[in-house]
Amino acid sequence: MSKVQLTNVKKTYPNGAVAVRGVDMEIQSGEFIVFVGPSGCGKSTLLRMVAGLESITDGQIMIDDQLMNDISPADRDVAMVFQNYALYPHMTVRGNMSYGLKNRGMPKEEINQRVSDAAKMLRIGDFLDRQPNELSGGQRQRVAMGRAIVREPKVFLFDEPLSNLDAKLRVQMRIEIKRLQRRMNVTSIYVTHDQTEAMTLADRLAVINDGKIEQMGTPIDLYNDPATLFVASFIGSPQVNLLPATFDGQHLISGDVKLTGFTDLPVSTDLVLGIRPDELHLDDGGQFPMRVDIVEQHGSDNLIYGGILGAMNEGEEETEFCFKAGQDMLPDLESTLMLGFNAERAMVFSKDSGERLR
Partner 1 sequence: MKQWNWRLISTHAILIVGVIFMSLPVWVAFATSTHSAEHILRNGLQFWPGSELLKTYNEVLFVDGGVMKSVLGTTMLKNSLILGFGFAIGKVIVSMLAAYAIVYFRFKLAVPLFWIIFMTLLLPLEVRIIPSYEVMASLGLLDTHFGLIVPLIASATGTFFFRQFFRSVPDELLEAARLDGATAWGFFIDILVPLSKTMIAAILIIMFVVGWNQYLWPLIMTTKEENYTLVIGIKQIYQILAEGGELPQYQKAFALTILATLPPVLVVLVFQNWFVKGLVESEK
Tell me the C-alpha to C-alpha distance, in Å, between residue 68 and each of 32, 49, 213.
20, 10, 21
Q: Which is nearer to partner 1, 59 or 73 (by Cβ)?
A: 73
Q: Which is nearer to partner 1, 72 or 268 (by Cβ)?
A: 72
Strands (E), 28-183: 32-36, 58-63, 66-67, 78-81, 155-159
Q: How far is the CB of 293 from partner 1 (least distance, A)?
A: 44
Size of the residue set binding partner 1 (CB under 8 A) = 22
Q: How far is the CB of 100 from partner 1 (least distance, A)?
A: 3
Q: How far is the CB of 30 from partner 1 (least distance, A)?
A: 21
Q: Which is nearer to partner 1, 99 or 305 (by Cβ)?
A: 99
Residues in the chain: 358
CA-based nearest residue to 355, from 253, 235, 274: 274
Q: Which is nearer to partner 1, 164 or 224 (by Cβ)?
A: 164
Residues 37-96 touching partner 1, rule: CB under 8 A, are: 51-53, 72-74, 78-80, 82-84, 86-90
User: What is d(CA 33, CA 6) in angstroms, rounded to the nearest whole number?
Assistant: 13
The span of 5-13, 99-107, 273-281, 340-348 binding partner 1 (CB under 8 A) equals 99-107
Q: Which is nearer to partner 1, 53 or 253 (by Cβ)?
A: 53
Q: How far is the CB of 77 from partner 1 (least distance, A)?
A: 10
Question: Mask 143-172, x = binds partner 1 (CB under 8 A)?
Answer: ----x-------------------------
User: What is d(CA 89, CA 96) in angstroms, rounded to the nearest whole number?
Assistant: 9
CB neighbour list of residue 106: distance below 8 Å, 6 or more residues apart? none
**129 DSSP 8-state letter:** T
13 lies in the site for partner 1, by CB under 8 A: no
305 lies in the site for partner 1, by CB under 8 A: no
CB neighbour list of residue 69: distance below 8 Å, 6 or more residues apart? 56, 60, 61
Taking residue 334's Cβ as centre, other Cβ atoms within 10 Å add up to: 9
310 lies in the site for partner 1, by CB under 8 A: no
Using a 10 angstrom Cβ sphere, with 0-12 exposed, 13-18 middle and 19 or more buried, the burial of residue 244 is middle
User: For binding to partner 1 (CB under 8 A), which residues are involved?
Assistant: 51-53, 72-74, 78-80, 82-84, 86-90, 99-100, 103-104, 147
